[in-house]
Every structure is written in C-alpha cells, then in structure tokens.
Amino acid sequence: MRDVAIIGVGAHPTGRFPEKPLKALAHTAIRDALTDAGISAREVECAYFANSLGGSLTGQEGIRGQVVLQYSGITGIPVINVENACSSASTAFRGAWLEVASGAADVAIAVGAEKMFVGDSARTIAALAAVSELDLARMGMQFTTSYAIHPKINLKGKMRDYGWTMEDLAKPAVKNSANGALNPIAQHRKPLTIEQIVQSRPVVDPLTLLMCSSISDGAAAAVLCATDLVARFTSRNPIGVSACVLRSGVYKLPNGEQPDSATVTARAAYEQAGIGPEDIGAIELHDAMAPAELMLYERLGLCDPGDGPRLIDDGITTLAGRQPVNPSGGLCSRGHPVGATGLLQIAELVWQMRGEAGAHQIASPPKVTMAQNQGGLLLGQDSAAYSTTILSV
C-alpha cells in the first residue's frame, strides 16, 4: 500500500439553497478542490461521489455521480456512487484513498453533495425519511428520535447514571455555535446560550430544537494523490492520511457482548496510525445531536465515562483549548447535509492544519487531527456505518 496525501479540498457553504441543483452545489466544491490542488479535471483518474438519497436523476440520462462530475468537466473515468447514510462522504473518501493507496490511480477525487431543500415541503420530508431509520419513518418520526430513545444511546439513562443535567446536554451546542458563528460556510452563524438551547422547543425528551442538526444543502470535495507524486502537482505541503477505518456496527456478538462500534473503529484507527487519543490536536466529530458529542468524547478515548461536560467546562475542547472539537461548528451549527458531512469534516481539518481557517483558526495549527463520522443507526440494533480518519503533517 502506498502512502496517500490530500492535496486539495473545497466546499460549498451549508444552508438553504432551493434555487441551486445538486450539480451546482457539487461544482463549487469540485472546482475549489481542483484549484486548491493545482490540477485540472483531466488529471483526475478516479472519482467517488457520495449522496445519501442515491438513485438516478429524474429527467436526465445517467446516475447522480456521473451527471454531477460531467457538469464539472470530469468524464471518461471510473465514477463510483456511494450511499452509506450519514457516513456516505467519509465512505467515498475511503474509496478514493484505497484507489490511490493500491496503485490503481495516482490521483482520485472524493465528492459529497446533498440537496435536502428541494422546493416543496413534501419532497423535503421525503428526503428526511430517506435518510432516517426505516422503523421510525413508518411511525412518522425521523432520526432525531433515535438519539433520545435508542437503547445504546439512552440519554435519560445517561442523565440518571452520570448526573448530567439539561444544561450539560446543551454545552456542546453552546461551544459549537460560538465556533460556527466565525465560520463563513456555516449554516447557523449565531452564538447561543445554555438558556436559549434548553428553553427552545422540545423535539423529543430530553432533546430540544437547538440541540439538533437541521436540514441542509451543501457539498465538499477532496483530491488525493500518492505521497511520492505530490511534487508533480503542487509545491504545498501535503496532508497525509495516516489512518482511514470504516466499520459496520455489531449489535451483539455470539458471547452476548454488545461492543461500542464507535470505540472499536477509533481504536483501529489509532492502531493504524500508531498513535493514541492524547496525540490528536483537533477533532471533527458527528454531533448530529449535541449530547452525542459528550458520549463520543468517551468513545474516542478522550475522557472517562460521564466526564464529557467537564472537558467543555475546563476549556479543553473549546477553540482555544488543548484538544479543540468541532472547530467548524459541527453538524448543529456548520450544518449536516447528510451525503456531504464526512468530507466537510475533512476539508475543515485540512484548513486548520494549514492555518487557513480564518476567524475560527486554532491558534497553533494542529499536526495530527481526526474526523469521526457515523450514520444509519436503527432502533433496537447497532447496524450503523462508522468511520474514523486520522490526518497528519
């Protein structure tokens, strides 16, 4: 396997863009990633395209990835369409990484794009249902509900066992809204207080509206290249891919154990990169609901069970802290265009590592970072897709 580096990233701002078709959203990200990498569309040898809704584009010849990439001038190469729930974009990134690492291609691009504001409320609701757990969708609920009632998450149980309060559940959203307010591509750019979050409209106990990510349009892309060929394309220092791990959830092992799949995936990534959680300088993680960040602190090995709120209270995971988490604003603030989210995380970390993140730049650009992405959790079982990617300079 060859060493692989990221040589270019790009993103379309996240938010509501009902007038823009999917290919226009993706084009901005693809164009900026190619420009950032210093290469032309003709130099791309393979492409992976992520979109959580999948399928063909109505009224057009071809399937989504081929149509979208053709619009940006990328044609005549292998194009692989990826649908893996909220992990679609990180799965596409892994596919492009494997193409280069294996030697099948010298340059590959991963693209993620999502169009959730589609012009009328019925179709938007249909889009949400398509990325929801099937069982909940049939009950008229969306994936928000799973975070409150899923037995592996069990927020009310965490509050009872750890002594967490509603204010504790709101702390990640406060931190991330402050970061998102500084991020020019974020969907929600307004700092929030604990009181505003706790007192916002209840969604499903104990979650309130401002603890939850919203419907989003958006896109992101990354260009990958064999590390020993980087100088052929750009003089910029490459961002190395030290680990790229994808796992499917395991509900129950034969011996009756129920392993935490986010933990297993992260540990595999640490082993692949030859580091530990203490070595990570910044993290973008999957906070589709604010309290998920507190639980992922534990599962990524950042703290002991129940100590998540303390990391925020002590400033450790804030933008000025020792180990900033979600400097972009995360899913609740930057936005969660489902099929693009994993690559938005990658783009943010690349900008942070280069010192190019602007107003929300971490003071000392991190040398090692992690993107944690997951999606597809079904009620009553752990059948989700989990991704952990570690980058280094």
Active site residues: 86, 336
3-state secondary structure 16-75: CCCCCCHHHHHHHHHHHHHHHHCCCHHHCCEEEEECCCCCECCCCCCEHHHHHHHHCCCC
In sequence order, what are the residues at sequence separation of 6 or more whose Cβ sits closer than 8 angstroms to the Cβ of residue 89?
50, 82, 110, 112, 220, 339, 340, 341, 342, 343, 344, 373
Q: Which of 309, 294, 302, 272 is nearest to 387 (CA)?
A: 272
Q: Are 219 and 347 in contact (CB under 8 A)?
A: no
In sequence order, what are the residues at sequence separation of 6 or more whose Cβ sits closer than 8 angstroms to the Cβ of residue 382?
152, 249, 250, 251, 258, 261
Distance CA 226, CA 238 (A): 10
Using the structure block, give the residue that is written with the tokens 């988490």: 325
